[in-house]
Amino acid sequence: ALRKKNTPRWLNAKGAFSEVVLAEEKRTQRLVAIKCIPKKALEGKENNIENEIAVLHRIKHPNIVSLEDIFESTSHLYLVMQLVSGGELFDRIVEKGFYTERDASQLIHQILDAVKYLHDMGIVHRDLKPENLLYYSMDEDSKIMISDFGLSKIEGAGSVMSTACGTPGYVAPEVLAQKPYSKAVDCWSIGVISYILLCGYPPFYDENDAKLFEQILKAEYEFDSPYWDDISDSAKDFICHLMEKDPMKRYTCEQALQHPWICGDTALDKNIHESVSAQIKKNFAKSKWKQAFNATAVVRHMRKLQLGTSLEGPSQITPTSPCFMCNPLCPLMLHAEPAHLNSNKS
């Protein structure tokens, strides 16, 4: 039996599909996160939630948020999820007083290990970005967790994907070009995340969406001075192998895990916190995160660029703004009161 608790600010997330609430298992007093989905909201979207559940059911990895149970009432579907309470990646970096390449390398090592696990299972996340990376706990040495499998795809034997999905600043060129793609898109996203972790700003940016897409399609990025002056050549080499335009030449997770910046001792111990945290605060401010992004404009710009139409269905590109608060689950949410939970607050 579960009992609803006062939901903390960092978990009280709502969106187009559902709401995430904090709950306590009565017998063990263990806290969990429950994704409450009104069945009415699922009409016509059954495939989305079925896909997410199918993905989550298969995953058991220490760096991936797990699905622990499923409950159903006449009006709602409840996904009981592992609770991650350590906060968002960027917030923790900014709060640190000391931050180095080695710290970034250790973070990326955990992400690569988790994504390799997914890829070995034939699962492609398709929406890897800093906002989907959460710390398990508030402990200083807490592990990082991958969340949000709303856009994940299970690859069939020899299958390719073609739906335009993800968040524009992190998607691979082949996704924007709406060419058939595979798990290599996740490796590109890890390259983008690595880039941001070392300088605090994204490799691709333009106020004009069409120009942003052109940059990504051409894989046009630089290691700007002075922000990259103190970053090792090994780190830059690692990023270049992941942010490789040709997916056939791009590093796989397995290859990336063998790179000396990840498994060797080439990651520097120089403190880069001041520069990186200043850029994170400038480029990823919460006020900017909450700005609405017109997904229709993305599709319109893609058509202007004559990128063709999706072979699988409508575009699923998500807003450039990160997900709402510190949400360990899918960011698609709508208010729902869990009918079967005890309303006693404790």
Q: Which residues are catalytic?
A: 127
* Strand (E) or helix (H) holding 304: helix 295-304
Q: Torsions phi, psi of 70, nearest 5?
A: -135, 135
Count of alpha carbons within 13 Å of 167, Cβ hemisphere only? 26
The rounded distance, in Å, linking the Cα atoms of 276 and 273 is 5
Find out whether 276 and 198 touch, Cβ atoms under 8 Å: yes
- Contact indicator for 119, 152 with CB cutoff of 8 Å: no
Please say whether the beta carbons of 37 and 85 come within 8 A. no
What pairing do the DSSP bridges indicate for beta strands 153-154 and 67-72? unpaired
Handedness of CA 251, 239, 170, 305 (dihedral sign): negative
d(C-alpha 22, C-alpha 34), whole Å: 6
DSSP H or E segment with residue 77? strand 76-81
List CB contacts of 159: < 8 A, sequence separation 6 or more.
none
3 contacts 323 by C-beta, under 8 angstroms: no
Question: By C-alpha distance, which of 78, 59, 58, 80 is closest to 69?
Answer: 80
59 C-beta neighbours (distance < 10 Å), count = 18
Nearest to 83 by CA among 283, 289, 327: 327
How far apart are alpha carbons 242 and 238 in whole angstroms? 7
295, burial (CB in 10 Å: exposed 0-12, middle 13-18, buried 19+): middle
The CA-based angle 150-155-159, given to 5 degrees, is 130
